[in-house]
Amino acid sequence: MEWETYRELIASAEYRSNVPNVFADPDHFAAAIDDMREATDVDPEYVAGIDALGFIPGAALARDFDAGFISIRKGGKLPIAERYRLADDCVDWTGREKTLELDRRMVPDGERVLVVDDYVETASQVRVAVDLLEEAGAEVCGLTFLCALQTEETRSLDAEYGVYSVNPWDEA
């Protein structure tokens, strides 16, 4: 699907991009997953989705890659013992502090993990997700998004891991 179509679909909200509009239509959803897969130039053993909208394309991409799925949850959502919990804080695009958590048992040591989210503005959540996965022993092999805004942080992540995005970076 052309980026212009995605832009029209996600621009329906007044204050933020409305990516669930893409997921609501079966043809648009299938096209988004196909386009994200096509943009991604790695072969992971696992795909990690960031809570909550990253779970949708993340799980679909995990199936496409024949890979396992790892959920990176918002703080307080993991029903596990503290000894298994990895957590870190970040400031999201609204300026609010939030916590992301990971169950360390979900991450096999040394396995290649692709991190997926829907839309990246500041990349602070992505940075925390990468840090948690690496702390658990994963090898982060790339980052895939429907849309990644080009910022200093996303350029830094691109240099370190490779950022794969459906949108052309000069049009975000």
pLDDT single digits (tens) 64-81: 999 999 999 999 999 999
In this prediction the pTM is: 0.95
From the list 52, 18, 124, 167, the residue with the least C-alpha distance to 132 is 124
CATH number at residue 104: 3.40.50.2020
Tokens representing 27 are 């043809």
- Give the integer Cα–Cα distance in Å for 98 and 87: 10
Has residue 63 been placed in a domain?
A: yes
pLDDT at 141 over 80: yes
Kindly write down the DSSP assignment for every residue of 7-65, as one continuous string: HHHHTTSSSS--THHHHHSHHHHHHHHHHHHHH-----SEEEEETTTTHHHHHHHHHHH
Query: What percentage of residues in the chain have a pLDDT greater than 70?
Result: 95
Count CB neighbours of 45 within 10 A. Answer: 18
In a domain, 93, yes or no: yes
Say yes or no to pLDDT of 170 above 80.
no
Q: Could you tell me if residue 7 is inside a domain?
A: no
